[in-house]
Structure 1
Amino acid sequence: MVPATHYAKSGDVHIAYQVVGDGPIDLVLVHGWISHLEYQWEDPALARFLNRLASFSRLIVFDKRGTGLSDRVAESALPTLEMRMDDIRAVMDAAGSNRAVIFGISEGGPLSTLFAATYPGRTAALIMYGAYAKWIRTDDYPWGPTREQHEAAFNAYEKHWGTPIGLKTLAPSAANDERVRQWWAQFMRIAASPGAGITLYRMNVEVDIRAILPTIRVPTLILHRRGDRLQPCEGARYMAGQIPGAKFVELPGDDHMLWIGDADSLLAEIQEFLTGETPMLEADRVLATVLFIDVVQSTQRATEIGDSRWRDLVDNYHQLVSKEVARLGGRVVNTAGDGVFATFDGPARAI
């Protein structure tokens, strides 16, 4: 079920937000570059991630101005970090939250850090994932892309907005998954216009919150995947070294999208940080026997009897094989042409 969407007023702008769960901790999730409150629930992995957060908190999630269901603003007047910080405060007020954990993802990290420094009394803790203090390479910050690399990315995104562009960087482990590709392409189209998306991207590149980091005085958890292709892990280590008492957790994986890959380890770190309890992780690996069946000389046989007749035979064949696989406790994973790909819990049943 998609949670109800509400609106908070921040100045003259309406900010869309949702509240999920009723846990003892208020947790404000600050998305990255672009977002869409209702379409995010269409992705099973992202929906699962959000529901897990809501299982131990009262989760408050919102679309920043200029994206998703919040008011769109003129591209010539896109918001600064300070304006967006006020949007967080407005959403908290509307949701009846006096004090909350602020959880910033990617570009949401600098925004969350600014809020924690400005409103420490309303910030119970700060969590960042895949975040950065600065996103352009300089002599004293050698981990970001160069300005020339960013310009090439601006042009590519503008040319291919609304396609699966960027997934090889954002989620390499799922970049060839057609469902993920279609979801991401539509997500881009409904979350922001091409012009707004590129303008926000340009704004994010100019962010530099390094001077703010030593002023943070709330408990801080910084999570980062070791092989993140968008935001190098060195930048996260730098932030952890600048924020007094910050806890830094480096996790395996290459995906920048936090709900792709091993999301359970991320969730476990967040839950332990906020509640002091270490959750039991579900096993995500099993020992299985893989069976692949292929009909010998099927192409020759199809030519002899005709494609239409051959397709009917293959359909009947797939139905018979599926029944037999199920009878023996297996599962058909995929079919391609006359091939069948199935898994069993042991070799004897597969044979």
Structure 2
Amino acid sequence: MGVGGRGPLGRPRCQTRGVVPTRYARSGSLSIAYQVVGQGPLDLVAAPGFISHLDWNWQEPELRAFMERLTEFTRLILFDKRGTGLSDPVPGPATLEERTADLAAVMDAAGSERAAILGISEGGAMAMLFAAQRPERVSSLVLYGAFPRITEAPGFPSGVDAGVMAGMLDRLIEHWGEGAGLSAWAPSRRRDPALRAWWGTLQRLGASPGMARGLVGHYQDLDMRDVLPAVRVPALVLHRRGDRMVPIAVARYLAEHLPDARLVELEGADHLFFVGDTETPLAEIEEFLTGYRPAPTPVSTVLATVLFVDVAGSTELVADVGDAVWAGIRERFLGLARDALLRFGGVEVDVAGDGLLATFDGPIRAIRCALALREATDGAGLRLRVGVHAGEVQRLAGGQVAGLAVHIGARVMAEAEPGEVLVSGTVKDLVIGSGLAFADRGTRPLRGVPGTWPLFAVAG
């Protein structure tokens, strides 16, 4: 683990490299795996949801980024529940009382006398019970996607129909380890093969099918409604309005029945907290815990070249080789892509699924980068589709870019054939005199973009 750079107000920015050290806390006769990351001024303990695996969590780029962002203003304490991840196996799911005992053991081992608790999904129940039992050890609660109860009951019409919930979770267990369930947990990324591969591996590493089935039963039977009045610490309730796992009405009930809670309704439908818009919840958490809300980064508009790349036929490839092999192939592709970006001065903006987005100061370097990457991946047995466009882009917080030029670049890539580097007419006109040659691919409409656009394939 390394530390580098500075966050807002000059605070240290934690950048994890390699595997974060895992330690073990003793809870009775069991060992509970935990990690401590960052050097922030306050402790934040993350109570995990359904399943987790401390080491594998860091392999998902967006989850890693979320956790590293938390370490800019906290000392983050992570752990795996007993029976899951790297913690000791147990015959069946733990009771909430046992889980709160494990949470206390982790805090003791990490040297944390008092902390804020981040309760994620099912972990929210553990966090709330701990706060009710040991208020002297809890400064505040952050509850994301949490619930006091998940299914309908007398006096609780906001829950999910019990039959619907049981059927969905039965299908999940039937296909355990295959990456099933993304349509409910992360609908915006349900067709993302990289996230599906990571999710499937998390299922296999996080819990056995038998433990997962037991956890599912716990999920359905949980009822914390009578405990809520005893949770007398400040609470921030974060919930996405379109959440398909836990309806927003459940979060509204939760906020109304906690003595000191504020509800923030977020846009989106993803239950996974690290998918979709993460800047808003992270800003809310930072303001709630520190009193400081990071100022939005001013938007600047610049002329840039955008490069979109994806692996052609990735869906079929995943089906042929399986999730674990595909994850290795994807890492190899990203390694080659990053080598090419470094060589030609490109800036990585985003990686998602089987693709990559980067920006360049000029189109010639973008094209030469694409050609070098195509050659390298051909040698690795992969076929790429590449799109290049130049225009004004908006530079946003976190290094992201937006604007019509970005949209056009994505549509140009979508028109490319496997093995083809396709550019817009704008790019072709900007590289006159470079020695690059092009083949006319005709004028085409681009979905969602006004007018028609001349496209050209780079020759050679």
Match of 1:103 in 2: 118
Cα distance, 1:82 vs. partner?
0.6
Match of 1:69 in 2: 86
Match of 2:364 in 1: 327
Match of 1:341 in 2: 387
Q: Distance in 1 between matches of 2:385 and 2:249?
A: 46
State the Cα deviation string for residues 215-246 of structure 1 (Å, max 9, x = none).
22111110001111101111111111111221
Give the gaps of 5 or more residues in structure 2.
1-16, 309-339, 345-359, 375-381, 393-424, 430-460
Q: Distance in 2 between matches of 1:65 and 1:157?
A: 21
Q: Distance in 2 between matches of 1:198 and 1:283?
A: 48
Distance 1:118 1:280, change over 3 A: same
Deviates more, 1:4-13 or 1:275-284: 275-284
Is residue 289–residue 350 contact of structure 1 (8 Å, CA) maintained in 2?
A: no
- Give 1:242's match in structure 2, choosing from 241, 257, 262: 257
Distance 1:340 1:329, change over 3 A: closer
Match of 1:197 in 2: 212
Distance 1:348 1:246, change over 3 A: same
Residues 1:148 and 2:185 are matched in the alignment: no
Residues 1:53 and 2:131 are matched in the alignment: no
Q: Distance in 1 between matches of 2:113 and 2:238?
A: 25
Normalised by the size of structure 1, how large is the TM-score?
0.84
Match of 1:41 in 2: 58
Is residue 44–residue 118 contact of structure 2 (8 Å, CA) maintained in 1?
A: yes
Distance 1:291 1:129, change over 3 A: closer
Normalised by the size of structure 2, how large is the TM-score?
0.65
What value does the CA root-mean-square deviation take over the aligned residues? 2.8
State the Cα deviation string for residues 159-204 of structure 1 (Å, max 9, x = none).
1000121101101111111111100001100100011011111112
Residues 1:159 and 2:161 are matched in the alignment: no
State the Cα deviation string for residues 113-151 of structure 1 (Å, max 9, x = none).
000000000001011000001011123212222222232
The sequence identity of aligned pairs, in percent, is 44
Q: Distance in 2 between matches of 1:210 and 1:272?
A: 28
Q: Distance in 1 between matches of 2:90 and 2:231?
A: 31
Q: Distance in 2 between matches of 1:345 and 1:21?
A: 39
Distance 1:341 1:237, change over 3 A: same
Match of 1:225 in 2: 240
Distance 1:253 1:284, change over 3 A: farther
Q: Distance in 2 between matches of 1:291 and 1:30?
A: 39
State the 4+ residue runs in structure 1 displaced beyond 6 angstroms.
Answer: 283-292, 333-338
Match of 2:327 in 1: none
Distance 1:284 1:120, change over 3 A: farther
Q: What number of residue pairs does the alignment pair up?
A: 322
Q: Distance in 1 between matches of 2:269 and 2:298?
A: 20
Give the secondary structure class of the aligned counterpart of 2:58: helix
Cα distance, 1:284 vs. partner?
9.4
Deviates more, 1:29-38 or 1:156-165: 156-165
Give the secondary structure class of the aligned counterpart of 1:111: helix
Distance 1:173 1:282, change over 3 A: farther
Is residue 366–residue 388 contact of structure 2 (8 Å, CA) maintained in 1?
A: no
The structure carrying a bigger strand percent of its residues is 2
Cα distance, 1:22 vs. partner?
1.1
Distance 1:236 1:286, change over 3 A: farther
Q: Distance in 1 between matches of 2:27 and 2:155?
A: 36
Letter in 1 for 2:284: E
State the Cα deviation string for residues 231-283 of structure 1 (Å, max 9, x = none).
11111111111112211111101110000001111100000001111113457
Give the gaps of 5 or more residues in structure 1.
293-318
Higher RCO structure (Cα 8 Å, ≥6 apart):
1
Residues 1:29 and 2:46 are matched in the alignment: yes
Distance 1:345 1:219, change over 3 A: same
Letter in 1 for 2:364: R
